[in-house]
Structure 1
């Protein structure tokens, strides 16, 4: 069983809050970004790695590769799993990745999305996917940083 400390949805993937604040709070030593696009984009990977302390390892895997290798993680790997969308997380869970809780940190607003907090906006597909995750028994929370109080009850929006 992999040591997944937290799974976070953040369309920015790795940035200051993820790379410093959350990593320190969790005690993670590995950030695994599971996203098909970023897995093949070395420029984006390099930019994301720039914000991390040297002691933190990174992996950039496709959703499929994550499903195939996550259960081979060494016990010493304390994994912070970061995905871009709820749909990516659902695919991971349906593929057998043992995720019990999801932190939703940032989902940008764009036309067709309903803003439900200062950093989270959802379209109909996001709502449907989050409802499915909730119905599977996955705990959902919206929180930008660890010491922030959870203020939004996501269930009333999905």
Structure 2
């Protein structure tokens, strides 16, 4: 069962493992990020940070779509995207997403503060607006215990 789709440019980190996976009983993570999917060293490092009992799958958008076409029943799956452009690509290529949790976008030059721990630039903002135009609700929430704020 797909439990959470999250946008977080930090990808897999302590908040994901210690808070989201624990509170939501996540047993599988699908990380959809072209850079990581094509970098064996980054995959090994991320895999080392994931505790036993949580399976992780690394995909780019196209391979993720193929996985979902197989109609495999995943148990307590969390999907993490590293940027809004890959989410938009996933949706435009036929991927089905019910809602998106925006959980972390680090400060970088050219990004403006959207919320606590969330900074985006104009291109990212436009991508999020396009995602929203597809009728997909976006919520801003860094931790599962935080109050959810709807992105508009």
Pairwise CA distance, 1:19: 2.0
Residue aligning to 2:17: 19
Residue aligning to 2:122: 124
Closer, same or farther in 2 for the Cα pair 1:28/1:72, shift >3 Å?
A: farther
SS of 1:23's equivalent in the other structure is helix
Superposition RMSD on alpha carbons, in Å? 1.5
Pairwise CA distance, 1:21: 1.3
Is 2:139 aligned against 1:141? yes
> In terms of mean alpha carbon deviation, does 4-13 or 23-32 score higher?
23-32
SS of 2:102's equivalent in the other structure is strand
Q: Deviations over 1:58-102 (max 9, x none)?
A: 000111111122232422432100010011111111122210111
Alignment of 1:4-153 (within 5 A): 4-150=2-148, 152-153=149-150
Q: 1:134 & 1:146 partners in 2: Cα distance?
A: 21
Q: 1:118 & 1:125 partners in 2: Cα distance?
A: 19
Indicate conservation of the 8 Å contact 1:20/1:52, yes or no. Answer: no
Pairwise CA distance, 1:51: 2.5
Please give the TM-score of this superposition, normalised by the length of structure 2.
0.92
Indicate conservation of the 8 Å contact 1:103/1:142, yes or no. Answer: yes
Q: 2:70 & 2:76 partners in 1: Cα distance?
A: 13
Pairwise CA distance, 1:55: 0.6
Q: Deviations over 1:25-57 (max 9, x none)?
A: 222211000111100212212222223220110
SS of 1:91's equivalent in the other structure is helix
Unaligned residue ranges in structure 2 (runs of 5+): none
Unaligned residue ranges in structure 1 (runs of 5+): none
